[in-house]
Amino acid sequence: MKKSTAWITLILILALTIGIGFIDIKGTDSQGTASAKDISLGLDLAGGVSITYQVVGEETPDSTDMADTIYKLQQRVEGYSTEAIVYQEGTNRINIEIPGVSDANQILQELGRPGTLYFISETDDAGNRNYSYTGSEWVLNKTIDELLADGSIRLQGTDVADARAVSTQDNLKNTSYAVSLTMTEEGKSKFADATTRAYAKGETLAIYYDGSFVSVPSVNGALTTGEAQITGDFTYDEVEKISSTIRIGGLALELEELHSKVVGAQLGQDAISTSLKAGIFGFVAVAVFMIAVYFLPGVCAVIALVAYVALIVLLLNGFDMTLTLAGIAGIILSIGMAVDANVVIFARIREEIAAGYSVDSAIKTGFNKALSAILDGNITTLIAAIVLWILGPGSVKGFAQTLVLGIVLSMFTALVVTRLLIRAFYALGFTNVKFYGKAKDRKPVNFLSRRGLFFGISLAVIAAGFIFMGVNKFGLHRDELNYSLEFKGGTATTVDFDREWNLDELTADVAPEIEKVTGSNVQIQTISGTNEVIFKTNSLDVETRDDLENMFTEKFSIPSSKITTETISSTISGEMKRDTIIAVVVAIVLMLIYIRIRFKDMRFGISSIIALAHDVLVVIAFYAAARVSVGNTFVACLLTIVGYSINATIVIFDRIRENRNIATREELTEIVNKSVTQTLSRSIFTSLTTFAMVAFLFGFGVSSIRDFALPLMVGIGCGCYSSICIAGALWYTFKTKFPGKKKA
């Protein structure tokens, strides 16, 4: 690179970083559009709209129908935000909470009133018309009960699997819009019969919902595939509205709106400010560490990391992602991976310098040799993140989205920005070895000789975790883990105070009193425009509810008439747990396939998955022993550890693959020990920097954030241990016990 080109490169990178950073802080206009303040935040960080529906005409609806309705509503409201949640309240109510919005009326108008949808034939079997056109609108000639009795209702909303707005183009490139319908397996045959009859008679097949006609389309043929399109002179908004109405009408139960309200953040403004403060301190600590250890390349890495942070804030806005505590976990992991990529590169450069190569040659070779480890580690994690994004439930999707974005940006900044910066500084005269450092010649540590001890320690810790869970389940507590209301459900106590309280006051003054009475962690939601506050705790029996009511009366002078309690279901439903498990299993299978293809040895993949499972089980053991609350961040915490673990393990396996020449047992031992020793500083340094980020989050965070950060710190430490002490030893054990076919 010429000196003039180097100056242009350096100035351009700095200018773009500063420019993007300015947008992040100030936005693109006076309203702060596209700034960090404009990022959509989840219910835990910013609050949103809460809507309560009640089942029409049933005090105690069927539990299966209730679960089906909740699951389908969950899928629909994720169109507003992947972090939206749906849960049961009492016996016949359903709550929907949608973050990042404040207009309940608009949501209600767009979501519609969940009710029963009917597909009605134009005439009954006797030839009598079921509906007529008055000149201005369609009207029913019979009641719904009469139509049900004579068989004129051919399908109902539960027979519809999906309805989507689609666009099509004719030969002249004219765009038209239609509603695409897909029926369930049961609905497929009903729809075939209904359309066959209507087509033979030259009739329409009306779609009727909530007292009015959604659409009265003509039938142009017998539709036997279970798929159809409603076409006409529609605008996109019209087909979107029809599609939304059909989807909402496919619920198992008919619902009516009971009330809606705007609720405050569950963690409060204090959680955002302390998390931001923790992020700044953590970033400064990482920056100082990188510069102190890696000199000039460390400076380049810090500039690249600043560019990374600026870009991720900009793109969170650009892709309109909703940021929650789980999303912050995804960003922390991707920052750790960005640091890791730089550490791997710089270690390689120092090794090349120590081998006697010039600085220029060391830079080129260092990046080339580091490329495979960085790509394999990041792509493996990226595969898992994409699968979780596609197959996972809403709360997991939010984590996966930020992780995908973070991984792509971390690879870009490490492999492109850092490389350009180092080449630019070299061209500007920073050619002396003292600016880059030289790797010390380390004697390989005999890790494999202690593998029995390492395996024993790991098995003992995991076994202790199961013992703690057994003691918790059958002795001290009724649950193996300290499940919060997100997993178990609980009690919502609504209190109408005589004055307005802010969340910080409630957290400091009221929450401790509730915890004394209930022995449970408390989630707090304020209701905008009122003095009402919702306190969510684990399930309370009648006696504890009375004690809680008495506490409010005695300490806060609240009359019992202004205190109401309701039982609420878990926000993490059985279907969501199932979807998460399926997504994780698919992700693990695809990671195994990728590792098998890249490393040409299934033992690498199996060892990676065992090391991954080891880290997860150790963290779960910590949850059991320390009784840390298992809430909605539990899944995000474990997934973060999975991503961190697989990335750390791949780096070591990449070095083993490189060093392996002859697969004799004696030399295989030396190869593994040498590879782990060569990557030892990388494993420790990456763990330290990521640990520092989370440690500051723990130190500055509110209680909910600490419950999230503490297990994450344990997981990072465990990931470092497993990558150094377990992963290579596992592969060596499999390689020697199951050597496979020898090559000729």
Percent of the chain exceeding pLDDT 70 equals 92
Identify each DSSP E strand in 190-309 by its residue range: 205-209, 212-215, 227-230, 255-263
Inter-residue contact 489 to 574 (CB < 8 Å): no
Q: Which of 298, 270, 274, 276 is nearest to 689 (CA)?
A: 298
What is the Cα–Cα distance from 604 to 649, expressed in whole angstroms?
A: 9
pLDDT of 619 reads 93
In the block, residue with structure tokens 């939304």: 244
What is the Cα–Cα distance from 482 to 469, expressed in whole angstroms?
A: 10
pLDDT of 353 reads 93
**Rounded mean pLDDT of 290-314?**
92
H-helix segments, 319-393: 325-354, 359-391
Give the other-Cβ count within 10 Å of 390's Cβ.
12
Q: Which amino acid is at 230?
A: I
Residue 19 confidence (pLDDT) above 70: yes
Inter-residue contact 692 to 285 (CB < 8 Å): yes
- pLDDT tens digits for 115-138? 678 999 999 999 999 999 988 889
Helices then strands, counting H and E runs in the chain, come out as 24, 19
Query: Three-class SS of residue 447?
Result: coil
What is the dihedral angle through the alpha carbons of 140, 145, 147, 150, rounded to the nearest 10 degrees?
A: -150
Q: Is residue 711 within a helix (H) or strand (E), and if so which, with residue range?
A: helix 703-721
Residues 6+ apart with CB under 8 A from 201: 122, 123
pLDDT of 362 reads 93
Q: Which of 11-25, 68-82, 391-405, 491-505 is the most confident on average?
A: 11-25
| DSSP secondary structure code for residue 36 in this structure | G
- pLDDT tens digits for 306-342? 999 899 888 888 887 777 766 776 777 678 778 888 9
Q: What is the reported pTM?
A: 0.73
- Paired with 218 in beta bridges are 204
Residue 595 confidence (pLDDT) above 80: yes
Give the other-Cβ count within 10 Å of 436's Cβ.
25
Q: Which of 217, 222, 214 is nearest to 243 (CA)?
A: 214
487 Cα distance to chain centroid: 16
pLDDT of 332 reads 74
Inter-residue contact 651 to 377 (CB < 8 Å): yes
Give the other-Cβ count within 10 Å of 33's Cβ.
13
> What's the chain's average pLDDT?
85
What b/e sequence results for 327-359 when a residue is b if at least 16 CB atoms lie within 10 Å of its CB, and e otherwise? bbbbbbbbbbbbbbbbbbbbbbbbbbbeeebeb
Q: Is residue 140 within a helix (H) or strand (E), and if so which, with residue range?
A: strand 138-140
In the block, residue with structure tokens 């065992």: 610
pLDDT of 395 reads 65
Residue 393 confidence (pLDDT) above 60: yes
pLDDT of 104 reads 66
Q: Which of 269-273, 487-491, 676-680 is the most confident on average?
A: 676-680
In the block, residue with structure tokens 């490329």: 371
pLDDT of 446 reads 92
The residue among 56 and 465 whose pLDDT is bigger is: 465
Q: Place 630 in a pLDDT band, splitting at 50, 70 and 90.
A: confident
pLDDT of 464 reads 95
Residue 526 confidence (pLDDT) above 70: yes
Inter-residue contact 550 to 541 (CB < 8 Å): no
Burial class (CB in 10 A: 0-12, 13-18, 19+), 37: middle
Residue 698 confidence (pLDDT) above 60: yes
Token duo for residue 743: 């090559």
Token duo for residue 638: 């474990």
At residue 392, what are phi and psi to the nearest 5 degrees? -75, 160
Inter-residue contact 213 to 29 (CB < 8 Å): no
pLDDT of 301 reads 92
Q: Which amino acid is at 402?
A: T
- pLDDT tens digits for 408-438? 998 899 899 999 999 999 999 999 999 999 8
- pLDDT tens digits for 139-173? 999 998 899 999 999 998 888 888 888 888 777 77
What is the Cα–Cα distance from 691 to 676, expressed in whole angstroms?
A: 21
Q: Which of 265-269, 456-460, 497-501, 630-634 is the most confident on average?
A: 456-460
What is the Cα–Cα distance from 141 to 121, expressed in whole angstroms?
A: 12
Q: Which of 187-191, 244-248, 568-572 is the most confident on average?
A: 187-191
Residues 6+ apart with CB under 8 A from 613: none
Residue 663 confidence (pLDDT) above 60: no
Domains of the chain: 3-25+295-435 (1.20.1640.10), 48-113 (3.30.70.3400), 117-250 (3.30.1360.200), 448-466+573-737 (1.20.1640.10), 490-568 (3.30.70.3400)
Inter-residue contact 378 to 412 (CB < 8 Å): no
- Paired with 54 in beta bridges are 93, 256
pLDDT of 358 reads 93
pLDDT of 659 reads 85
What is the Cα–Cα distance from 602 to 423, expressed in whole angstroms?
A: 38
pLDDT of 744 reads 44
**Rounded mean pLDDT of 215-221?**
91
| DSSP secondary structure code for residue 321 in this structure | P
Inter-residue contact 88 to 94 (CB < 8 Å): yes
Query: Three-class SS of residue 35?
Result: coil
**Rounded mean pLDDT of 233-258?**
79
Q: Place 272 in a pLDDT band, splitting at 50, 70 and 90.
A: low
Token duo for residue 51: 């809507």
| CA-to-CA dists, residue 548 to 397, 483, 555, angstroms | 37, 21, 11
What is the Cα–Cα distance from 514 to 491, expressed in whole angstroms?
A: 12
Inter-residue contact 262 to 41 (CB < 8 Å): no
pLDDT of 146 reads 92
**Rounded mean pLDDT of 677-699?**
87
Inter-residue contact 243 to 164 (CB < 8 Å): yes
Inter-residue contact 279 to 540 (CB < 8 Å): no
What is the Cα–Cα distance from 490 to 569, expressed in whole angstroms?
A: 6
Q: Place 501 in a pLDDT band, splitting at 50, 70 and 90.
A: confident
Q: Which of 491, 494, 490, 492 is nearest to 562 (CA)?
A: 494
At residue 255, what are phi and psi to the nearest 5 degrees? -120, 155
What is the Cα–Cα distance from 537 to 576, expressed in whole angstroms?
A: 21
pLDDT of 86 reads 84
What is the Cα–Cα distance from 403 to 637, expressed in whole angstroms?
A: 12
Residue 475 confidence (pLDDT) above 90: no
Strand order in the sheet with 563-568: 255-263, 48-55, 93-99, 85-89, 563-568, 490-496, 532-538, 523-526
